[in-house]
Amino acid sequence: MKNQSNKLIKGSVSRRVALNAIISSSAKVTWSILSLVALSVITRHLGTEGLGAYSTVLAYFSLFSAIAELGLNQTLLREISKKDSRAEESRLVSTAFTAKLLISLIVFALAAILVRFLNHPEQVKNGILIVSLGLFFAGAYQLLNGLFQKRLMAFKVSLAELAGRFANLVWVLICYYLDYGLAWIVVGLLFSWLTTYIAVFLMASKKVRIRLNFDFNKIKPMLKDSLPLGISAILTFLYLKIDTIILSSFKGLEDVGIYNLGYKLFENISYFPGMFMGLIMPMFSRYLHKKPKKFRSIADKAFAALSFIAVGASLGIFSLAEKIIPILRGQQSLESVWVLKIITLALFGVFMGQFFNSILISAKKQKKLLLIFLICAIFNVVANLIFIPQYSFYAAAVISAITELLVPLLSMALIIKELKYLPKIKQFVKILLAGAIMLAVIMFIKKSEIAQINNLIQFNELIGRILEIIILVLIGGGIYLGTAYSLKAITKKDFLRLLGR
C-alpha cells in the first residue's frame, strides 16, 4: 500500500513538472513572438538608430536591475524550498520583498544621479530615467516567482508575463500609429511590468501572507547570504550587456541598432533555460546531498533535455538568419545577419551555463561561481574595449559568443572537481549529430530554393517570408526529432516521462 502511495506521489510530481514545462514553454514562446513583433514595429518606426537608442536604454536598465536584484531571487527560492511551514515561508518572502523595495529605491536614486553625467543624447537619458521607475515592479514579480517554482506552478507567472508582453505590444502599436517617439515607447515597458507585477502579487498573496517587514536583523543576514549571487548578477550583466554600452560610446547608436537587431532574438530565447532550471533547481537543492543518486539521475535528464533544445535552436536559427532579419527590420541587413549567426552559436553555452550554475548554487558554491563570473566579465570588458573601436558590432558578437561558451566550461570543471559529477556525454554526441543532419538539410533546401513560397504562389512579401520560415522549421524540426529518435538520443521512455506517464 505504501509503495502504491509513493508511485502516485511520484506520478503526480512528474505530471506537474510536465504541465509546468508545457504551459511555461508555450507561454514563453508566445511572449517571445510578441516581443519580436514589438521589436519589428519599433525598428520600422524609429529606424536602426532609434532601435540603437532603445537598446541603449534597456542596457542601462539591465545594469540597474542587476544591482537591485542582489541575488535575492535565487536565495529566496533556495531557502523556501527547504521549508514546509507556511509561517516560516511567509516570513522569508516578506523579508525578501521588503529588501527588494528598499534596494530598488536606492538604485533608482543612484540612477537618477548617474544619468546627468552620461555622454548620450537627451532622448536616451530621458529614456533611462523613465525605465528606471520600473525597477521594483520588474524585480518584485521575479522575486515572488520562487513561491510558484517551489510548488511546481511557475506556469502561472509565465502567463502573467505573457499578459504583460501583450500589454506592451498594444502600447507599441498605439505609439506607432500616433507617431509617438522613444520616451512614450519606453513608458510601455512600465505598463508591461506593472501588469505582470499586479497579477503575480495577487496570486502570491493567496499562497502566503506578504507584508512589509522592516526588521533589519532579518534583512541583514539574508542580504549577506545573497551578496555573492548579487555580485555574480552584476558580473553577468558585464559580459552580457556591457558591449551595448561600450558600442554606444565608441561607435554610436546606428551600430548599436545593427548589433541589437540580431542580438534580440538570441536574448528572447536565452530566457528559456532559466525558466526550465527554475523548475528543476528545487529538486537539486533537495537531493544533492541527501540522495546523490537521485540528484544525478535528475541532472542527467535535465542535461539531455537542455542539450536537445539548445542544439536544435542554435543550429536552426543559424541556418535561417538570412530569412529572419528581413522580417524584423523590413529589409535585409547582412551585418545583422552575421551578428545573429555568430551569437546563436553561443546559445548552447547559455543553456549549459544555466544548468551548471544551478548545480553550483544548489551546492552553495556561490563564492566559487563568483570567481568564474569575474574571470568571464574581465575577459569580456577588456576584449570589448580593445576590439569594438576597430571592429564594432562584429567584435561585440564574437566576444559575446566566446564568453557564453567560457562560462559553462569553467563551471563544469569546478563541478567535476568539487562534486565529482559529469553529465553523460554519449547522448549529447548523438544530439549533436542529429543537429548537424538537420542543418545540412535546411541549407540544401535554402540553396535549391524549394521553400521559396512566393515563386509558387503570389503572397504578400512579409507573409511569404514567414511561411518560408514555418516550412523550413517544420521540415528541419521533423528531421531533427526523427534523427535523434533513430539514434536513441531521445527515446519513447523519455517522452513518456516528460508527459508524466
User: DSSP for 315-383?
Assistant: HHHHHHHHHHHHHHHSS--HHHHHHHHHHHTTHHHHHHHHHHHHHHHHTT-HHHHHHHHHHHHHHHHHH
* Residue 140 · residue 101 · CB < 8 Å: yes
Q: Is residue 488 part of a domain?
A: no
For the stretch 29-47, pLDDT in tens is: 787 888 888 888 998 888 8
- Domain extent at residue 397: 8-423
One-letter amino acid of 302: A
Q: Is residue 443 part of a domain?
A: no
Phi (first) and psi of residue 223, to 5 degrees: -65, -40
Look at the chain and report how many structural domains it folds into.
1
Q: Which residues of the chain have pLDDT under 50?
A: 1-11, 456-459, 495-496, 498-501
Q: Within 13 Å of residue 433, how many CA atoms lie on the same side as its CB?
A: 15
Q: Is residue 467 part of a domain?
A: no
Q: Is residue 267 part of a domain?
A: yes
Q: Is residue 136 part of a domain?
A: yes
Does an H or E element contain 42, and which?
helix 2-69
What confidence score (pLDDT) does residue 301 get?
A: 81
Q: Is residue 253 part of a domain?
A: yes
Phi (first) and psi of residue 206, to 5 degrees: -80, -20
Which single residue is written with the C-alpha cell 511520484?
A: 10
CA torsion, points 83, 89, 91, 97, in degrees to nearest 10?
A: 120
Q: Is residue 169 part of a domain?
A: yes
Q: Is residue 479 part of a domain?
A: no
Q: For residue 308, give Cα distances in angstroms to 49, 304, 311, 450, 490.
A: 37, 6, 6, 27, 9
Q: What is the largest CA-CA distance in the chain?
A: 71
* Residue 397 · residue 262 · CB < 8 Å: yes
* Residue 283 · residue 363 · CB < 8 Å: no
Residue 454: CB atoms within 10 A of its CB come to 14
What confidence score (pLDDT) does residue 291 get?
A: 79
